[in-house]
Chains A and B, each alone.
Chain A
Amino acid sequence: MSDNHKVIGRSVPRIDGPEKVTGAAKYTGDLKFPNMLYGKILTSPHAHARIISIDTSEAEKLPGVKAVITHKDVPELKYGLSPARWDENIFCIDKVRFVGDKVAAVACVDEETCYRALKLIKVEYEVLPAVLDFRHAMDEGQPLVHEEYERNINTEIHQEFGDVDKALAEAHHVRTDVFVGQRTYQAPIEPHSAISMWEGEKLTIYSSTQSPHYFQYYIAREFGMPMGDVRIIKPYLGGGFGGKLEPTGLEFAGAVLAKRTGRPVRTFYDRAEMFAHNRGRHAQYMEITTGVDKDGKILAAKANFMMDGGAYTSLGIASAYYAGALLPMTYEFDNYQFDMFRVYTNLPACGAQRGHGAPQPKYAFESHLDNVAADLGIDPMDIRIRNARRPDTVTPNDFRVNSCMMRECLEQVREMSGWDEKKKNLPHGRGIGVATGSFVTGAGYPIYRTDLPHAAAFIKVHEDGTAATLYTGSVDIGQGSDTILCQMAAEAMGYRYEQMKIVAADTEITPLDFGAYASRQTYMSGAAVKQAGEEIKKQLLDMASTMLSLPADDLECEEGVIFSKSREGKSLTFEEVARKHFVLKGPLLGRGAYTPPKLGGSFKGAAVGTSPAYSFGAQVGEVSIDEETGEITVVGIWDVHDCGKVINPRLLHGQVHGALYMGMGESVWEEVLFDDKGRIRNAELANYRLLTAVDMPPIQSEVVNSYEPTGPWGVKEVGEGATNPTLGMFSNAIFDAMGVRVNSLPLTYEKVWRALKEKREKEETIAA
């Protein structure tokens, strides 16, 4: 692919860099408005309890308290993120379903008064037996989390493609393994926050959200308002990772409190409340069976899963489908069965965390595949290359794959990591593992049913041509989308990045975009931006054609200079042509929109996992195990990604590092723990062990030279894909180092130590 791009493909500095590193950037929680009140939500101390009564009278009498609200003061309409299961109320009506469920809220003159007021609200509960172990949630006689969902089944999936039983019967080798994944939490550095205010019937909310559009839609729906009367603004945002995609309750409570008091109200979660709101990774029980031929070619796979949904649906229906839908991506096989139960428990709700449903099933499948390779005496790298998906193929569940360099990723990471040498020579206690991953480049269908485009953009060239402003509804949550979209706009216009300005993520000013989730923005928002930029360029060239008396198709515009392709010396600056356009024709504007084509099959749930393009990647990790303590030292990680054309290499590798960082945490260090009353034991950052900078190993991140024919300039996903292989990669590296498999996440030092101890004891018994 010849690359004569001027602006994309370069590591330009982040457009928000100076603001962020100097501390000038204002996040939602930094904003203050005249007369602003502070709001806090009272939550349930019980995992499952009936609400007998709520008495707010004492709280209302406290000086400084301006409003106290309960379910009686808000709409009863249930909300949620997955339209098929809207199951949450703004405040609980009959009963609370987890420790942290929302019961009431206050608005006060300051934060301190809020805490005093919350203590004065008297709630009488009748404590009910709780469902805390998801493995038993469907058992006979278990209490029901929601009376209308029998056996606590939230989502049930049974899919079969091809003839699995026949293929297994004919297979050379069939193996079944069981793995368990843990609950983790996104733990973004910025706590959730919303500031709500009314002007007449119009509601404005500043919010730390990954999707102003979905917020706008769900808030308008909840209050029965036209969407045009709801304005959502996203200030700078400090990380989401899937945990800020949906309404948090802060904006509903804040909006009602602001209406009541006629004053702006800031509502917010502290760290412990963030953990309680949760929406992190589901814990999963995963049974995997595959049948292979004598060379390790996969003939059929069976996935039998169960996941802990927590008390509400959140985006969990999609998580449940994703868990199975993305399993057949990186390896080709025709026969596939996927069964899943997502169950309700009296624990915080789980949702979409980086990689969505995919990382844990990938951990299970990649660990299982190494076991199969060991059974057959095949090198783990070879079995993967043998099964690697090829371009222009269709998965058994009807996903069309265009560009795919799975095989090249594996071959490159094999080379880069020194796989063959290490496999032969690593000393005892050292191990090396490989795993693959793939992810959607944006979801093929929106979260709620609509035929609106998924992304749109405007570009306005300023009247003198010295600047152009990109207006996009896309959401920079730290990943750098504002920067790369400005690069893409400048490239399409023939302009300079340094002259770009951006206004993003304000539903009143910027055009529709579904936001930052499912790794969609570079591709989908980028497609809309490219179109808008090209519309500018066309108008400019038409104007320049008149000014130079040359045909428009003889003209080109690059980096702010319009020139004749055939004659030397005939050129104009972008500025002078843009100014002339404004004088003669009015504002110079470009518009763009993107709607994906119809994708996927027609079976139940066929839409989840569809995408116009898929990323692929392979990771190798090397670990060293201290056999006396089980301590794991990560010696190095090598990642090769097939992510299409790279717009900004530095930001791209930043995404890989970040995804790897989260994947590493989930592999060995992170787990949300509960006591026997359903209370989180580590809702803080001392014992919820996010890794620190000094824990990070040397990482070598590279890309294959790939091009996605459907994407703007050939782009694809990167932000989540690099989380998918990591858990399985660690499992396999540890397996290689020790010769024993830990079958549950996280692969803690203690579990590794125990596995080694049991292995030793077994060997001693045999020897005796």
Chain B
Amino acid sequence: MYMPDFEYHTPETLTEACALLDELGEKATVLAGGTDVLHKMKVGKLAPGHLVSLKNLDDLRTISHEPGRGIVMGALTSHNAIYTSRLLQERYLSLPMAAHTMASNQICNMGTVGGNIVNGVPSADLPPILIALNASIRLVSSNGERTMPLEDFFHGSAETVINQGEILADITIPDQPATGSTYIKFGLRRSGALAVVGVAVSVTMDGDTLQDARVVLASAAPTVMRARGAEDFLRGKKISDELLAEAGDRASAESRPRDSIRGSAEYRRNLVGVLTKRALRKAIDEGHA
């Protein structure tokens, strides 16, 4: 494994980091936990002249509830910090559980929620559940900042709308009426497995009527995607096993998976249907789990 040469920068503030990115331009790559960037460098997929490490930006490591806004999570929050957050466990246990099952303990200690988002791959485990929970993100640059729904951030395989010079600062999960949410990941072993398919859902129940639902798919298209057809179908309906199965079929039909080392497109489409049905049932029965 050969690591190409690079210069290493450790800005002390977000402002300083943004200024550095402006100065260095295209040669610079932002380094958070490094679990994706360093791997790409080692296998020769990335050779940045400069790495701008965010490790000193401790402000971006906090999780807090801001009244009127929701839960705000710094982009540098590690997967294990999400897993162990009392606040998240109490409000949306589905998110800590998704963080916990995504990788080995070492990776969960280093990897960050921001990195998991910005890396942009369709198999990432946190974006689906965050999108299901209607999360938004804040991107900061020297020219100011912009906020957008997380689902608008991705627009192709490993492609996102982030601009050169922008840093993902934090993620906000708004206070919401959703009564349940979950993420089911289908991996080929019980630990350290990438998702063959992952399905995150959130549901808002009124008695046994589904007022609203979100269905978000991982590894089922070039980018993380919402199964809007399935969501529209579910909205306002009384739940039954047949209904959830039909929603699964619709999500399956909407998905656009490809053949890969982990499974054929046909198998993945089947998994989307099965997991969607199961995830909906779980969120309806168990709340945020």
A694/B191 in contact, CB under 8 A: yes
Q: Which residues of A contact B191 (CB under 8 A)?
A: 692-695
Known: A115-B2, A270-B1, A753-B267. A628 touches B274 (CB 8 A): yes
A692/B190 in contact, CB under 8 A: yes
Residue of B nearest to A693 (CB): B191
Inter-chain CA distance A682–B262, complex, in Å, is: 11
- Is B193 an interface position by the 8 A CB rule? yes
Known: A681-B261, A687-B261, A753-B267. A629 touches B186 (CB 8 A): yes
Residue of B nearest to A673 (CB): B261
Q: Which residues of B contact A682 (CB under 8 A)?
A: 261
- Is A363 an interface position by the 8 A CB rule? no
Inter-chain CA distance A750–B261, complex, in Å, is: 12
Residue of A nearest to B5 (CB): A112
Q: Which residues of A contact B192 (CB under 8 A)?
A: 686, 692
B262/A687 in contact, CB under 8 A: yes
Q: Which residues of B contact A125 (CB under 8 A)?
A: none
Which residues in window 724-753 of A have CB below 8 A to B?
748-750, 753
Q: Which residues of B contact A270 (CB under 8 A)?
A: 1
- Of A629, A686, A749, A750, which is within 8 A of B194 by CB? A686
Per the CB 8 Å criterion, the residue count for chain B at the interface is 19
B97 to chain A, nearest CB (A): 15
Q: Which residues of A contact B190 (CB under 8 A)?
A: 692, 694-695
- Of B1, B188, B263, which is within 8 A of A689 by CB? B188
Q: Which residues of B contact A628 (CB under 8 A)?
A: 270, 274
A629/B274 in contact, CB under 8 A: yes
B193/A689 in contact, CB under 8 A: yes
Q: Which residues of A contact B271 (CB under 8 A)?
A: 629
Which residues in window 263-289 of B have CB below 8 A to A?
263-264, 267, 270-271, 274
Residue of A nearest to B4 (CB): A115
- Is B69 an interface position by the 8 A CB rule? no
- Is A669 an interface position by the 8 A CB rule? yes
- Is B189 an interface position by the 8 A CB rule? yes
- Is A691 an interface position by the 8 A CB rule? yes
Which residues in window 174-230 of B have CB below 8 A to A?
186, 188-194
Inter-chain CA distance A750–B188, complex, in Å, is: 10
B189/A669 in contact, CB under 8 A: yes
Which residues in window 742-768 of A have CB below 8 A to B?
748-750, 753-754
Inter-chain CA distance A115–B270, complex, in Å, is: 44
Per the CB 8 Å criterion, the residue count for chain A at the interface is 24
Q: Give 1 or 0 for each of A101-120: 1 = CB within 8 Å of chain B CB.
A: 00000000000100100000
A633 to chain B, nearest CB (A): 9
Residue of B nearest to A270 (CB): B1
Inter-chain CA distance A717–B199, complex, in Å, is: 48
Q: Give 1 or 0 for each of A594-635: 1 = CB within 8 Å of chain B CB.
A: 000000000000000000000000000000000011010000
Q: Which residues of A contact B1 (CB under 8 A)?
A: 270, 272
Which residues in window 257-284 of A have CB below 8 A to B?
270, 272
B253 to chain A, nearest CB (A): 17
Q: Give 1 or 0 for each of A217-248: 1 = CB within 8 Å of chain B CB.
A: 00000000000000000000000000000000
Residue of B nearest to A696 (CB): B190
B267/A750 in contact, CB under 8 A: yes
Residue of A nearest to B186 (CB): A629
Inter-chain CA distance A415–B186, complex, in Å, is: 35
Inter-chain CA distance A673–B188, complex, in Å, is: 15
Q: Which residues of A contact B270 (CB under 8 A)?
A: 628-629, 753
Inter-chain CA distance A750–B192, complex, in Å, is: 19
- Of B3, B188, B261, which is within 8 A of A749 by CB? B188
Q: Which residues of A contact B262 (CB under 8 A)?
A: 687
Q: Which residues of B contact A695 (CB under 8 A)?
A: 189-191
Known: A270-B1, A629-B271. A750 touches B189 (CB 8 A): no
Instruction: Pick from B186, B192, B262 the residue with the most CB of A within 10 Å.
Output: B192
Q: Which residues of B contact A629 (CB under 8 A)?
A: 186, 270-271, 274
Inter-chain CA distance A753–B2, complex, in Å, is: 40
Q: Which residues of A contact B2 (CB under 8 A)?
A: 112, 115
Q: Which residues of A contact B188 (CB under 8 A)?
A: 669, 689, 748-749
Which residues in window 535-586 of A have CB below 8 A to B?
none
Inter-chain CA distance A47–B254, complex, in Å, is: 40
Inter-chain CA distance A686–B271, complex, in Å, is: 21
Inter-chain CA distance A749–B264, complex, in Å, is: 12
Inter-chain CA distance A270–B270, complex, in Å, is: 37
Inter-chain CA distance A631–B188, complex, in Å, is: 8
Inter-chain CA distance A631–B263, complex, in Å, is: 13
Residue of B nearest to A687 (CB): B261
Inter-chain CA distance A115–B188, complex, in Å, is: 34
Which residues in window 679-710 of A have CB below 8 A to B?
681-682, 686-687, 689, 691-695
Residue of A nearest to B274 (CB): A628
Which residues in window 355-405 of A have CB below 8 A to B?
none
Q: Which residues of A contact B193 (CB under 8 A)?
A: 689
Q: Which residues of B contact A631 (CB under 8 A)?
A: 186
B185 to chain A, nearest CB (A): 12
Inter-chain CA distance A433–B192, complex, in Å, is: 28
Residue of A nearest to B188 (CB): A689
Q: Which residues of B contact A693 (CB under 8 A)?
A: 191
Q: Which residues of B contact A753 (CB under 8 A)?
A: 267, 270
B264/A750 in contact, CB under 8 A: yes
B24 to chain A, nearest CB (A): 23
Inter-chain CA distance A115–B43, complex, in Å, is: 13
Inter-chain CA distance A631–B184, complex, in Å, is: 14
A–B Cβ pairs within 8 angstroms, 16 of them: A112-B2, A112-B3, A115-B2, A270-B1, A628-B270, A629-B271, A629-B274, A669-B189, A673-B261, A681-B261, A687-B262, A689-B188, A692-B190, A692-B191, A695-B190, A750-B264
Q: What 16 additional pairs, Cβ within 8 angstroms, besides A694-B190, A753-B270?
A: A112-B3, A272-B1, A629-B271, A629-B274, A673-B261, A682-B261, A686-B192, A686-B194, A687-B194, A687-B261, A689-B189, A691-B189, A692-B190, A695-B191, A750-B267, A753-B267
Listed from nearest, the 7 A-B pairs whose CB atoms lie closest are A115-B2, A692-B191, A628-B274, A694-B190, A750-B267, A695-B190, A694-B191
